[in-house]
Structure 1
Amino acid sequence: MTGWKCLVTGAGGFLGLRIVRLLVEEKELQEIRLLDKVFKPEIQEEISKLQGKVKLTLLKGSILDEHCLRQACQGVSAVIHAASLIDYMNVIHRNTIMNVNVKGTQMLLEACVQASVPTFIYTSTIEVAGPNSYREAIVNGREEELHKTTWSAPYSVSKQLAEAAVLAANGRGLQNGGTLSTCALRPMYIYGEGSQILYYSVDGALQNNHILSNHCSYSVVNPVYVGNAAWAHILALRALQDPKKAPRVQGQFYYIADDTPHQSYDNLTYNLTKEWGFSPNPRGSLPLSLRYWLAFLLEMVSFLLSPIYTYHPPLNRHWLTLSNSIITFSYSKAQRDLGYKPLFSWEEAKQKTTEWVGFLVEQHNKTPKMKTH
């Protein structure tokens, strides 16, 4: 392909920006259009440093703005749709999540059809597959096992519906007589520099004498480094553009992991922060079954209060299950079809993330402390 253009949605986010960083190295790529609702000043600064090899065009707009999507897709050869609203604690209104994640994806697919964009890659999540119960383990899960979430939580449901829409659109006729090729990637929990979840864990521990929380000690997971998750998107893009590989990839979904050791979320956070003096909480957490029933009671309180007051419980059963289950997946299908192999080793990923944690600690130490009398 000569002088082709690519649109990345959610390009100002944690994963989206990493996709852009790798995308600028692609051959014959003429322009990357970066669509997001907000680009923070530090993100804009980094994007400006990437200008040179490829033209980078910032598009500030909503995924629900039909005119914006039409303009963004005009003349584009491929779309990487990484934008979505993520919410584990049911803080964001259900309709808002469903609109952005489902309706926004459907609108973007329609814009691609009208603009004759032949390639569409969707960033999904393992939450469409589970876990459904902390008592049931999924070990080395594979695509052909067809794991499916039974939760009604808006984020899980919205991603499931959006992914289904993307895969169903594969083979759809385009305005110019061509056909649309789609696939979806389901990354594991993504960690690395810029992770909001890791940021909040570090920030909370800095307020608590470097003691980390122990809310996720029962889990066994295989997280993926953000650089590897981004790399999988590049390989999926190449595969869908390759006439030989495309027939095998079209309409398929892929679990994306790497060689990060299987461990609990708590252990992962500790391994990424211990160099800076962080330590696990020596006090054990409440038994998981007790916390589960406490979460159920808090959800009931929230439901009973809902006609007169909006109460967001600090705990819910869905989050407890997500963060305390045994759930690991194989990336062998991505290896076979996409030629996927992690770009960064565990040691490299750990070093880069640990360095970023050090930056957070440094920034915290520079912040003036309030004097107490």
Structure 2
Amino acid sequence: MASTTESSCTTQTVQGTHRFQICQFSYGNVGSEDYIRSGIFRVGGFDWVIVYCPDADGDDGEEYISVYLELMSKYAEALAFVDLRLINQVTGDACTICAENRVPNQFKSSSFKEASWGREKFISKRALKDSGYIRDNRFVIECVVTVVCELKVSENKASCEIEVPPPNALEHFGKMLKDKSRADVTFKVGGEMFPAHRAVLAARSPILKAQLSEHMKENKMRHIAVDRMEPVVFEAMLHFIYTDSLPTMDDLDRDERNAMVQHLFAAADRYGLERLKLMCERILCLNLDVDNVAVALRLADRHDCQKLKEACVDFLVPSERIDAVLATRRYESIKLVSPSPLADLWEKTTRPPKRFF
């Protein structure tokens, strides 16, 4: 019987991502140079920086910003693919503005022209201001660098022509959630009933596992009441438990979406769903504004989330933001209902001292 063997030649690559946050965008370039370099980051054994030029004029009369990737390693040459993006600060998604994905670009450290790749007219200032990329006078440039290393030839192996489909367990679990005929437990939330499956809930949440075990001991086999939670939030949490993803929220406006994420954040902490909690925490960090930062601080303090606390502190660094937040009704109501030592400390230490002369 004839046999077939195969080997492969693969180009080894190393990929890294760096984000460069540009604050006070409207100030333009207040330094002595025409450009601003990010901090140095290392990918594939080479040192790189993102170069941002805030003032570039186009032939069409538009004002542009320029963005480049520059090789900083001395006496070096590198081959790399480059993807320069902007981060949508509402959704957290990255959008490619310019990229070189077909043929790797050759970088040489002999001069800026040979050591850099990018676009002089990266995006017009008018388009940037009209987009969702600028938030609170700041925007974020993301650079994905894929450094081409060496060729690697694999050893011979027997050829196998059986194609295996991708994993689809989560798709089946999602269908299982919709199939009420197989449910063996029901949750009553705010007058609404939610059928579910004990095995799935117990596998995903240690808190639900303990509750289900306790109800079985007490022969309360069918219905479990859930208090202090809205039905729509519980439904979204069930969606995550079965599919490991957040439900679509396209029918909600920005404030409604933010409120849903806040409630999901608290629900995730309540039921020990650590991945859901981190997903919500990330969304809250990316969508801080004057109206919701006080609520985010309260959540971070109550649920012991250091990253969210740090994001709130960074957001409140400009003094005018602190004054605006402290003047909101939401902050005052939170302070009265649930005073936080951290919030009191901010109010005393971060407000600029009054001048009497």
Indicate the TM-score class for this superposition, using the shorter chain for normalisation.
under 0.3
Which has a greater percent of helix?
1
Greater Rg over alpha carbons, structure: 2
Give TM-score, length-normalised by structure 1: 0.24
Tell me which of the two structures has the higher relative contact order, counting C-alpha pairs closer than 8 angstroms and 6 or more residues apart: 1
**Higher strand proportion (structure 1 or 2):** 2
